[in-house]
């Protein structure tokens, strides 16, 4: 077989269960290299708490520049109680924020899909979540997480004041709205845009500018505006009314976590953070599971690697132009679930509990 050009993947296992779940991704990458002549070149580097322990900072310049040169970056997890007492700017999670900001990863895509084999794992009734397939598009580099001024400062009477600033510009809103509308055109052609225009001027701007983009460039896509707190309620009451949910950084963070739990386990859900295409059509990207570092089960070979494996699938699809291989990997995951294999987080009566490595090996065995 003729080898295709080398594609660079940077693996950042990070903290907690991150190294364990990323290890399963490495096995799958090696399988594709061996069996599909996909000549992936991958490197593994430190980030987060692991980088703090080794280098005294959450991410080194060397690792950051490697992320710039990579076709895709796959992250395990950042953070843990070991580093909770560090100064805010030195915490492990600052590495993730730096990557998002400096790589200009403004669009976060978080699918919330209820696998048919795991309907009973959801805390909601099966008829509410069966067939659920939502895509949440979250703006990732603006809003209150990045706005200035920010900080904590002393005020009179020995009090202190915390300051965060929530701002958005027209361009920031337009570019994330286009991502949502483009995704909707490939799905059910429906976008629900969420904000708090009833109490926030930034929400008023968000609503107006999303509507402008719809009226100008996406006349055939259905657009509904919804207050973010109402959306949170509707996700529990009738989640299947949604197709693509568009939200700012703060509300998107909350709504995507809520939607994730509709599916039964955070251990199943991937995410993609994407930037704009450069002049060569390349998209800078970061892929990671929705779950955190789960330090309570780290090192016990109990973690569910499916979310990280599906993050690789998203990388194949969105950054590496390998839709066929992404489909194969997703089908392999479905077949393993059909066989009744479950990690501890999704185990149910009559199913077989397996380890992290067992799950990875089983998924590889279903690849063809």
255 and 276 share a domain? no
Whether 253 and 175 share a structural domain? yes
Q: Of 236, 262, 288, which closes a domain?
A: 262
Residue 282: its pLDDT value, please? Answer: 80
Around Cβ 275, how many Cβ atoms within 10 Å? 19
Work out the mean pLDDT of the chain and round it to a whole number: 94
| 295-321 pLDDT, tens digit each | 999 999 999 999 999 999 999 998 998
* Token code pair at residue 117: 């084999």
In a shared domain, residues 142 and 247? yes
pTM score: 0.88
* Number of domains into which the chain is organized: 2
Q: pLDDT tens, 90-105? A: 999 999 989 988 899 9
For residues 138 and 253, membership in a common domain is answered with yes
Distance CA 58, CA 62 (A): 12
The strand pair at 107-113 and 133-139 is best described as antiparallel
Q: Check 133, 182, 257, 361 and give the catalytic one.
A: 257
Catalytic residue among 253, 287, 318, 345: 253
Whether residues 236 and 282 share a domain: the answer is no
Q: 288 and 214 in one domain? A: no
User: Catalytic residue at 229?
Assistant: yes
Rounded CA gap, 327 and 224, in Å?
A: 31
Q: Confirm whether 125 is domain-assigned.
A: no
CATH number of domain containing 90: 3.40.718.10
Active site residue 215: no
Task: Name the domain boundary from 206, 237, 262.
Answer: 262
- Please tell me which residue in 145, 168, 218, 318 is annotated as part of the active site: 145
Q: Pick the last residue of a domain from 262, 286, 307.
A: 262
How does DSSP assign 20-82, residue by residue? HHHHHHHHHHHHHHHHS---EEEEE---THHHHHHHSSSS-HHHHHHHHH-SEEEEEE---GG
Q: 351 and 255 in one domain? A: no
| pLDDT for the residue 1 | 44
The single residue listed with the structure tokens 């392999």 is: 332
In a domain, 326, yes or no: yes
Domain holding 307, by residue range, is: 1-109+270-368
* Residue closest to 330 by CA, chosen among 268, 281, 280: 268
Q: Calculate the dihedral angle through the C-alpha atoms of 199, 167, 227, 97, rounding to the nearest 10 degrees.
A: -140
The answer to whether position 283 is within a domain reads yes
Q: Does 161 lie in the same domain as 142?
A: yes
> pLDDT tens across 121-170, in order?
788 899 999 999 999 999 999 999 999 999 999 999 999 999 999 999 99
Average pLDDT value for residue range 243-259: 95
Same domain? 213 vs 245: yes
Q: Which residue has the tokens 């109680």?
A: 81
What are 314-365's pLDDT values in tens digits? Answer: 999 989 989 999 999 999 999 999 999 999 998 888 999 999 999 999 999 9
User: Does the residue 120 lie in any domain?
Assistant: no
Catalytic residue among 66, 82, 133, 229: 229
- 257 carries an active-site annotation: yes
Same domain, 101 and 6: yes
- DSSP H helix total and E strand total for the chain: 12, 14
**Element (H or E) spanning 273, and its range?**
strand 270-277
Is position 323 annotated as part of the catalytic site? no
Does the pLDDT at position 202 exceed 50? yes
In a domain, 45, yes or no: yes
The residue from 196, 214, 248, 345 that is catalytic is 196
- 318 in active site: no
Helix, strand or coil, per DSSP, at residue 337: helix
Residue 239 placed within a domain: yes
Residue 235 lies in a domain: yes
- 149 prior amide bond cis, ω within 30: yes
CA 205 distance to own-chain centroid: 26
């Amino acid at each position: 077989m003729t080898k295709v050009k080398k594609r660079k993947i940077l693996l950042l296992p990070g903290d907690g269960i991150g190294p364990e779940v990323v290890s399963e991704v490495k096995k799958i990458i090696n399988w594709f290299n061996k069996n599909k002549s996909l000549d992936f070149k991958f490197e593994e580097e430190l980030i987060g708490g692991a980088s703090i322990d080794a280098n005294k900072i959450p991410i080194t310049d060397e690792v950051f520049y490697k992320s710039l040169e990579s076709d895709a970056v796959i992250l395990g997890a950042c953070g843990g109680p070991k580093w909770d007492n560090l100064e805010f700017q030195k915490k492990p999670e600052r590495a993730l924020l730096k990557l998002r900001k400096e790589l200009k990863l403004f669009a976060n895509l978080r699918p919330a899909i209820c696998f048919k084999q795991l309907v009973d794992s959801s805390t909601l009734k099966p008829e509410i979540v069966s067939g659920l397939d939502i895509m949440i598009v979250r703006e990732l580099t603006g809003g209150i997480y990045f706005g200035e001024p920010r900080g904590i400062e002393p005020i009179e009477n020995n009090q202190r004041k915390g300051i965060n600033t929530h701002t958005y510009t027209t361009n920031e809103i337009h570019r994330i709205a286009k991502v949502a509308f483009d995704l909707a055109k490939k799905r059910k052609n429906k976008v629900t845009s969420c904000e708090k225009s009833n109490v926030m001027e930034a929400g008023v701007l968000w609503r107006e500018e999303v509507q402008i983009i719809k009226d100008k460039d996406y006349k055939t896509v259905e657009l509904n505006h919804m207050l973010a707190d109402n959306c949170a309620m509707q996700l529990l009451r009738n989640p299947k009314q949604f197709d693509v949910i568009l939200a700012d950084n703060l509300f998107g963070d909350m709504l995507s976590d809520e939607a994730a739990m509709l599916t039964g386990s955070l251990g199943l859900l991937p995410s993609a953070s994407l930037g704009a295409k450069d002049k060569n059509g390349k998209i800078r990207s970061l892929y990671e599971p929705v779950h955190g570092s789960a330090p309570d089960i780290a090192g016990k070979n109990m973690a569910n690697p499916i979310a990280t494996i599906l993050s690789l699938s998203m990388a194949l699809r969105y950054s590496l132009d390998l839709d066929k291989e992404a489909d194969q990997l997703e089908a392999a995951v479905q077949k393993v679930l059909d066989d009744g294999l479950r990690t501890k987080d999704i185990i149910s009566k009559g199913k077989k509990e397996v380890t992290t490595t067992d799950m990875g090996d089983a998924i590889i065995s279903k690849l063809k």
